[in-house]
């Protein structure tokens, strides 16, 4: 009875479609035409490799970390056994591999990758999921920091959007390092794609759900990170997975200001404001990117050509730079400063936001500036400058012992008050090193910028010492 | 043009509702076996279809307001209101919304509607088509209390829970009766797990068929339990009129508190409430 009704409706819809097709005089599909489809095989590893499945370990990983184990298994005759190496294992620093079926499979009928797993000890598996094929990894999906225990437990990795997985090659992948330096073993069994029907309430996110604001220039390139999909499972757990950009549809509110491509990379193309948002399978992602583009980026003045012996460059495209450990140490808990090195129109610069203080550090090795006479830096401030605002520049030397601390360190700062700062133009500073009056200049390791929050955002370029 | 569209949509909806009803009737009539006494109630006496936007029909529904005693006896956390933020009729549905907000000393608000003194009935088929809320600490219910509760305090008055669900178990429905000697933790209850689906992603019909000395519990076309005097370890208090309650509670002994994973607001959509005798 029900079938009859459905058939009837189907015929009505079909004939409707046919009429449309006929009247619009386009070439329709013949009734015999069939779309090519990929196998819908749900099994990845039940009691052995499913048809077409390969094992491809990551370079640098312990190549024999994976074995088929017939002794320990959840059900059937065998399981997948993974031996995570100890620290300093000559065989490899970690365990990790992909298990692709290069012929591709149609996963659109499933909503989760599921498996049973246990380990010799409680541990946290760094990354586990599917969608990697050593190619585009277009639909890579990763469960990060999966807790595992010594008891067989069923795990569920939801598919962020099954409808896109029409020809997926990456059936399974994982990467795990030692736990506190120690290796251990975990097992996975009954690894397969399933249609659970209880994967629901999707809540995708970009930038991990944060509404970000960026003040920037034409030519800036900003990758969207923190792309996740969260589902509520039948167990009541909200399960979040990291989802590749290709699952998402990105949108720019003003394509004259910013463009966003299918890989979630934003390019600023004009002056003005634009909001970048995303949807996943029709559901609006939480989080956004608000861009305020100040227009054409004014490059910092190009430093003059110098004899290499006359310059020690920390950050500049004009000279060869020394090895730098970081441009932002994110010193907890007092530092608020965000940002670091970025690329604008092919030029490397540093952008600091939420500035209170921040350090660039270069202690591997430290540098000897005793033969140099000046420190140069270019600073750009786009926000209004008010009385009381300042930028201080501090040089830090690790002293004769050449390591931080030990009572011989020497750090001195020079403050530039609001009256010496100007907005929307590069401020080029050439400070005599003698003005810093450092006790030691042989083991310099740090350059600080300090505003105590009076100035929030600065661009920095061309940090070097010269004579 | 718009009006026409509206009408045709409504028409379709009506047809759809009737189709579901018909299917249900059909199924129930075919569900009988010799162990179950099933009487069919086909005379529609209450049909709350929620087709008029605004507050629910005041001739049928009134409200429990506030926090009751000890969170309505269960340490529930919500403050019940009759504000449109917590209960309203829109687009053919009654929407009960549980919110996380500070309100009169509570951290959550929601609504609880009752037909006490307005619609009370002994026996019949009571059913509602609903889409349920979800998440840790969310407790939706479609239930009934004995109409003599003012003179005959709970659990003496009796309670029939047509639908209860723990938000953290979004695919598990509970049908329960409470009475003297079998209340709260000792109540007579049965759960039903929806196969390969859950109750917060689509609409389902939750109902009972209730007659002399039996209550049959069903969801959609599945009759999943019958409770008779032989099943209860005390007096059978269900041969008298009861009234209807619908609410979304937050927290309390039955579900535990919401946590940081619980998404607010949460809504229960009620497509209709229908009663037959």
Beta bridge partners of B272: B129
| Interchain CB distance below 8 Å, B171 and A234 | yes
The tens place of each residue's pLDDT in chain A, 467 residues long, gives: 334 333 444 333 444 444 444 444 556 666 666 667 899 999 999 999 999 999 999 999 999 999 999 999 999 999 999 999 999 999 999 999 999 999 999 999 999 999 999 999 999 999 999 999 999 999 999 999 999 999 999 999 999 999 999 999 999 999 999 999 999 999 999 999 999 999 999 999 999 999 999 888 898 889 999 999 999 999 999 999 999 999 999 999 999 999 999 999 999 999 999 999 999 999 999 999 999 998 988 889 999 999 999 999 999 999 999 999 999 988 878 899 988 998 887 889 999 999 999 999 999 999 999 999 999 999 999 888 999 999 999 999 999 999 999 899 999 999 999 999 998 889 999 999 999 999 999 999 999 999 999 999 999 999 999 99
Look at residues A79, A145, A170 and name the one whose alpha carbon lies nearest to residue A118: A79
Distance CA A317, CA A302 (A): 9
Distance CA A244, CA A259 (A): 19
Say whether residue A195 is in contact with chain B using an 8 A CB cutoff: yes
Say whether residue A347 is in contact with chain B using an 8 A CB cutoff: no
Q: At A184, give phi and psi (nearest 5°).
A: -165, 180
Residue B105 distance to chain A (closest CA, Å): 28
| Interchain CB distance below 8 Å, A201 and B167 | no
Q: At B251, give phi and psi (nearest 5°).
A: 75, -170
- Cβ pair A115, A188 in contact under 8 A: yes
Q: Identify the pLDDT of residue A432.
A: 96
Residue B89 distance to chain A (closest CA, Å): 23
Beta bridge partners of B267: B97
Within 8 A of A231 by CB-CB distance, chain B residues are none
Helix H or strand E segment including A260: strand A258-260
Within 8 A of B167 by CB-CB distance, chain A residues are 236
Distance CA A262, CA A260 (A): 7
Within 8 A of A232 by CB-CB distance, chain B residues are 134-135, 170
Q: What is the pLDDT of residues B84-138, one digit of tens each?
A: 999 999 999 999 999 999 999 999 999 999 999 999 999 999 999 999 999 999 9
Within 8 A of B136 by CB-CB distance, chain A residues are 236
Say whether residue B195 is in contact with chain A using an 8 A CB cutoff: yes
Look at residues A337, A258, A243, A338 and name the one whose alpha carbon lies nearest to residue A290: A258
Q: Identify the pLDDT of residue A20.
A: 41
Distance CA B270, CA B118 (A): 19
Choose, out of B201, B202, B221, B264, the residue to mutate when testing the contact with A (most A CBs < 10 Å): B201
Q: Identify the pLDDT of residue A297.
A: 83
Within 8 A of A198 by CB-CB distance, chain B residues are 170-171, 196-198
| Interchain CB distance below 8 Å, A198 and B168 | no
Q: Identify the pLDDT of residue A27.
A: 61
β-pairing, A288-293 with A272-280? Answer: antiparallel
The predicted model gives B257-263 an average pLDDT of 96
**Which residues of B are annotated as catalytic?**
159, 164
Distance CA A259, CA A221 (A): 10
For B169, which of A195, A197, A236 is closest by C-beta distance? A236
Q: What is the pLDDT of residues B132-180, one digit of tens each?
A: 999 999 999 999 999 999 999 999 999 999 999 999 999 999 999 999 9
Query: In b/e form, how buried is each residue of A394-423, taking b as 16+ CB within 10 angstroms?
Result: bbbbbbeebeeeeeebbbeebebeeeebee
Distance CA A364, CA A66 (A): 37
Distance CA A337, CA A331 (A): 9
β-pairing, A265-268 with A153-158? Answer: unpaired
Within 8 A of B260 by CB-CB distance, chain A residues are none
Within 8 A of B261 by CB-CB distance, chain A residues are 237-238
- Count the Cβ atoms, other than its own, within 10 Å of residue B222: 16
Say whether residue B8 is in contact with chain A using an 8 A CB cutoff: no
Nearest-Cα residue of chain B relative to residue A5? B19
Q: At B231, give phi and psi (nearest 5°).
A: -90, -15
Token pair recorded at residue A442: 């042989």
Token pair recorded at residue A219: 């030519």
Look at residues B275, B269, B222 and name the one whose alpha carbon lies nearest to residue B244: B275
Distance CA A380, CA A353 (A): 12
Say whether residue B170 is in contact with chain A using an 8 A CB cutoff: yes
Q: Identify the pLDDT of residue B40.
A: 78
Interface of B with A in 132-151 (CB under 8 A): 134-136
Q: What is the pLDDT of residues A156-171, one digit of tens each?
A: 999 999 999 999 999 9
Q: At B133, give phi and psi (nearest 5°).
A: -75, 175
For A198, which of B136, B167, B198 is closest by C-beta distance? B198
| Interchain CB distance below 8 Å, B136 and A236 | yes
Q: B11 pLDDT exceeds 60?
A: no
| Interchain CB distance below 8 Å, B196 and A198 | yes
Query: Sign of torsion, CA B227 B231 B233 B239?
Result: positive
Dihedral, CA atoms, A52, A57, A59, A61, nearest 10 degrees? 180
Residue B95 distance to chain A (closest CA, Å): 18
Helix H or strand E segment including A141: strand A141-148
Distance CA A24, CA A30 (A): 16
- Count the Cβ atoms, other than its own, within 10 Å of residue B215: 23
A-B contacts at Cβ under 8 angstroms = 38
| Interchain CB distance below 8 Å, A197 and B197 | yes
Say whether residue B171 is in contact with chain A using an 8 A CB cutoff: yes
3-state secondary structure B80-127: ECCCCCCEEEECCEEEEEEEEEEECCEEEEECEEECCCCCEECCEEEE
Distance CA A425, CA A381 (A): 7
Choose, out of B138, B198, B255, the residue to mutate when testing the contact with A (most A CBs < 10 Å): B198
Mean pLDDT of chain A: 91
Nearest-Cα residue of chain A relative to residue B193? A234
For B197, which of A198, A201, A232 is closest by C-beta distance? A198
């Amino acid at each position: 009875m029900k079938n009859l009704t459905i058939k009837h409706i189907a015929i009505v819809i079909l004939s409707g479609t046919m009429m449309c097709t006929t009247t619009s005089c386009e070439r329709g599909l013949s009734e015999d035409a069939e779309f090519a489809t990929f196998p819908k095989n749900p099994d990845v590893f039940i009691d052995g490799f499913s048809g077409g499945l390969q094992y491809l370990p990551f370079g640098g990983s312990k190549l024999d970390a994976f074995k088929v184990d017939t002794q320990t298994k959840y059900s059937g005759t065998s399981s997948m056994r993974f031996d995570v190496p100890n620290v300093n294992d000559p065989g490899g620093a970690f365990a990790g591999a992909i298990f692709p079926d290069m012929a591709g499979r149609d996963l659109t009928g499933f909503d989760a990758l599921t498996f049973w797993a246990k380990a010799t000890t409680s541990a946290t598996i760094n990354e586990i999921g599917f969608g990697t094929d050593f190619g585009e990894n277009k639909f890579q999906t990763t469960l990060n920091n999966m807790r595992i225990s010594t008891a067989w437990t069923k795990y569920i990795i939801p598919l962020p959007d099954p409808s896109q997985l029409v020809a997926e090659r990456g059936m399974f992948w994982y990467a795990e390092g030692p736990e506190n330096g120690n290796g251990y073993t975990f097992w996975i069994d009954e690894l397969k794609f399933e249609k659970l029907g209880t994967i629901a309430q999707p809540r995708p996110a970009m930038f991990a759900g944060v509404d970000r604001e960026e003040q920037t220039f034409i030519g800036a390139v900003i990758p969207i990170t923190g792309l996740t999909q969260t589902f509520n499972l039948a167990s009541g757990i909200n399960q979040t997975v990291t989802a590749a950009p290709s699952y998402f549809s990105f949108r720019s509110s003003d394509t004259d200001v910013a463009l966003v491509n299918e890989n979630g990379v934003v390019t600023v193309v004009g002056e003005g404001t634009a909001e970048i948002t995303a949807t996943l399978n029709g559901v609006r992602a939480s989080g956004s990117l608000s861009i305020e583009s100040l227009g054409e980026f004014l490059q910092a003045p190009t430093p003059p050509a110098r004899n290499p012996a006359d310059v020690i460059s920390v950050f500049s495209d004009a000279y060869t730079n020394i090895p730098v450990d970081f441009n932002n140490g994110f010193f907890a808990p007092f530092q608020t400063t965000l940002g670091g090195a970025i690329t604008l129109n092919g030029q490397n610069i540093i952008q600091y936001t939420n500035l209170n203080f921040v350090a660039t550090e270069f202690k591997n090795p430290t540098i000897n500036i005793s033969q140099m006479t000046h420190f140069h830096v270019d600073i750009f401030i786009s926000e209004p400058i008010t009385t009381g605002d300042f930028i201080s520049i501090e040089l830090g030397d690790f002293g004769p012992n050449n390591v931080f601390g030990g009572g011989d360190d020497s750090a001195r700062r020079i403050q530039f008050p609001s009256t010496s700062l100007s907005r929307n133009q590069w401020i080029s500073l050439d400070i005599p090193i003698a003005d810093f009056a450092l006790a030691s200049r042989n083991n310099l390791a740090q350059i600080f910028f300090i505003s105590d929050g009076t100035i929030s955002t600065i661009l920095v370029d061309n940090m070097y010492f010269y004579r | 043009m718009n009006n026409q569209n509206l009408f045709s949509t409504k028409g379709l909806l009506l047809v759809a509702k009737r189709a579901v009803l018909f299917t249900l009737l059909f199924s129930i009539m075919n569900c009988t076996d010799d162990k179950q006494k099933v009487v069919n109630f086909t005379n529609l006496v209450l049909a709350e279809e929620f087709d008029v936007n605004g507050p629910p029909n005041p001739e049928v529904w009134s409200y429990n307001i506030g926090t009751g005693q000890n969170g309505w006896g269960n340490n529930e956390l919500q403050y019940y209101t009759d504000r449109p933020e917590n209960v309203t009729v829109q687009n053919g549905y009654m929407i009960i919304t549980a919110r996380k907000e500070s309100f009169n000393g509570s951290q959550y608000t929601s609504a609880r509607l009752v037909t006490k003194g307005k619609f009370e009935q002994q026996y019949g088929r009571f059913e509602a088509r609903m889409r349920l809320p979800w998440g840790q600490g969310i407790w939706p219910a479609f239930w009934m209390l004995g109409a003599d509760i003012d003179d005959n305090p709970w659990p003496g008055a009796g309670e029939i829970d047509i639908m209860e669900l723990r938000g953290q178990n979004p695919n598990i429905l509970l049908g329960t009766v409470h009475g003297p000697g079998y209340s709260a933790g000792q109540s007579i209850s049965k759960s039903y797990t929806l196969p390969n689906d859950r109750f917060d992603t689509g609409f389902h019909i939750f109902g009972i068929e209730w007659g002399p000395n039996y209550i049959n519990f069903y969801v959609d076309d599945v009759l999943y339990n019958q409770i008779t005097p032989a099943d209860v370890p005390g007096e059978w208090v269900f041969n008298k009129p009861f009234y209807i309650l619908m609410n979304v509670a937050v927290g309390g002994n039955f579900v535990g508190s919401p946590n940081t994973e619980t998404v607010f607001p949460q809504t229960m959509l009620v497509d209709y409430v229908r009663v037959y005798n």
